[in-house]
Chain A
Amino acid sequence: MKFLSNNALERLREGAEAPDLAGTRYRLLERIARGGMGVVYAAEDENLQRRVALKVLDVPGTDGDLANRLVREARVLAALEHPGIVPVHDVGTLADGRVFYTMKFVEGRRLDKYIESVTSIPDRLRIFVRICDAVAFAHARGVLHRDLKPANIMVGPFGEVLVMDWGLAKILHSGDSNGARAADRDATIFEKPKQRGIPSDSTEVSVVTGHGTILGTPGYMSPEQARGDVELLDARSDIFSLGALLRFILTGNPESGSTPGAVRIDKSLSAIGAKATAASPPQRYPNVQEMALDISRYLDGLAVGAHQETLLEKAGRFYRRYRFFILLIAAYLAMRVLILLFLHR
């Protein structure tokens, strides 16, 4: 038997990783990213002559936990037809026995990269509202994302916002409409293996506890999710993540704090973030729509539900909202005063 050098081992590994697309309508183009379950490739759909993203498991088999989870992720995506959620095209098993699905190829930038180029706070908040729209839609369909973070949000070249990576998504029981539904325990105990070397996901954790499996990303994970209290997870767990995401969008840091050099944000926005990330779920927004509504109210110069204003703050907000008219009236009054003074001289 021939000795295999270290170089040969590496080349064998590289060569063996590529998926076997024989018998499919896809042609492999390039590897885009590696995740906990497998690899995402750019591929060409030769029938439709368009580029797609192809997510494929590392290992063969259609009945293992990972295979079930990938198929489940594809089905979750297929059920969520929304402009803010990446559409899935196809799911199946390759000739090499690996489960795959294809989805829209999203050309854009991750939120954490994109946000650096957006200097206006209102523009940043409008992006956030679009994220809320997509998450609210998923919640209305009984799906929790459970891993909302900047690395899982893409912003396209035309400003379209897409919520990605529904690999940790949990389907809630149907029949309850208040958005804070009980968890389907069986549906949530699957593991996202810890990843190494992928900057976007390097902080993800997966720890099995006595209650369930902790899945998510520190800083964005709700306390109940971090404890592995699977049965307590509901829409408010994603609201916690949205609160952390809001803070990240505004300050570059998902966690609140008065560390030296921290970016100061408006009290109303700070209150929205604090309410969304309250340690106790009942103290958070009951649903994403209410949180998005508070942001929209802030953008419109209205009082937000999360913050009780003082008289001075009310006056300040009133001034900011009607600055143009106030200045116009002030200029008019000043002009009148000047005219009166001139006439009485």
Chain B
Amino acid sequence: MRQEDFQPGGDRFPLTRRSVIEAARSIDAEERERALEALCAAYWKPVYKYVRWRWHRPPDVAQDLTQGFFAELLERELLDKFDSNKSRLRTYLRVCVDSFIVNEDKAEGRQKRGGSIPHVALDFAAAEEELGATGIDPARIASPESLEEFFEKEWVRSLFTLAVEDLREWCEQRERSRTFRLFEAYDLEGNEKSSYEQLSKDYGISVTDVTNALSWARREFRKIALDRLRELCGSEEEFHREARAAFGWNAK
């Protein structure tokens, strides 16, 4: 039995994030760039998938539009105009995407853009694979409500993916790799047949150790995901609303 399996929570993920909305309005150029990177990391996949489904654009055009949108977000300082009292950032960005595409279509002079989103690798091939894996029929998300739901789901997927990656790195830093593997095996890849007993056999540890490791990983995941979410919200009220949406607390 290793120490990592039964620590109740002595080592906590450091919470240091600041709202991207505030950071985007900073006079510090580095701060602004960091804000856009954070925003882009969380939203590029939902935006890309949204452009593909909502606007029925082929992959190459959708890629170009996605990059163009984030470039415009920076150039036109659209985040400055966001008011968290009036809407959620998620909804605001979706509306901005729609306007951007309508304007691009009107201009008919869309130029290839790219490289304007520093330090964020946009793996469009992976996003295409994910679109296929979601098994969503584009014809069934034609209504505005279902488009909103689609965008929300992809936004949650993106947020949770980033949080899982943060957790993986955090576990590696804390020499808790096995804890992450247990979390991955049960919470990410598990199904109704998965059990703590099976994991304890697979990893040669007690069921209590599996329980403790998973409890720790879930707590840290929750904390990391909420911290990332807080960064993507303009106010405490918006954060509460978005936390409820992301974790499904409204629907239970």
Contact = CB atoms under 8 A, between A and B. Distances in A.
A4 B222 contact: no
Q: What band does the interface of chain A fall in when counting residues whose beta carbon is under 8 Å from B?
A: 35 or more
B252 A1 contact: no
A127 B12 CA distance: 50
A223 interface: no
Contact of B214 (A15, A34, A58, A65): A15
B161 A16 contact: no
A197 B187 contact: no
A143 B61 CA distance: 62
A13 B189 CA distance: 14
B157 A9 contact: yes
B252 A34 contact: yes
B129 interface: yes
A96 to B, nearest CB: 6
Interface string B153-173: 100110011101100000000
A64 B162 CA distance: 26
Given A2-B188, A12-B187, A17 B247 contact: yes
Contacts, number: 97
Select the residue from A5, A13, A66, A96 with max chain B CB neighbours within 10 A.
Answer: A13
Nearest to B241: A193
A20 interface: yes
A75 interface: no
A1 B160 contact: no
A219 interface: no
B139 interface: no
Contacts of A3: 126, 129-130, 133, 161
A16 B145 CA distance: 27
Select the residue from B156, B187, B236, B248 with max chain A CB neighbours within 10 A.
Answer: B187
B223 interface: yes
Interface string A3-24: 1111111111101111010110
A9 B153 CA distance: 9
28 contacts: A1-B123, A1-B161, A3-B126, A3-B130, A3-B133, A6-B134, A7-B191, A9-B160, A11-B187, A11-B188, A12-B221, A13-B247, A15-B218, A16-B221, A16-B225, A16-B247, A18-B215, A23-B8, A59-B244, A60-B226, A64-B236, A65-B237, A95-B9, A95-B219, A193-B244, A193-B250, A196-B251, A197-B252
Interface of B: 8-9, 123, 126, 129-130, 133-134, 153, 156-157, 160-162, 164-165, 186-191, 214-215, 218-219, 221-223, 225-226, 236-237, 239-240, 243-244, 247-252
Given A4-B157, A16-B225, A59-B226, 8 more contacts: A1-B162, A8-B189, A58-B243, A64-B240, A96-B219, A96-B223, A97-B223, A197-B252
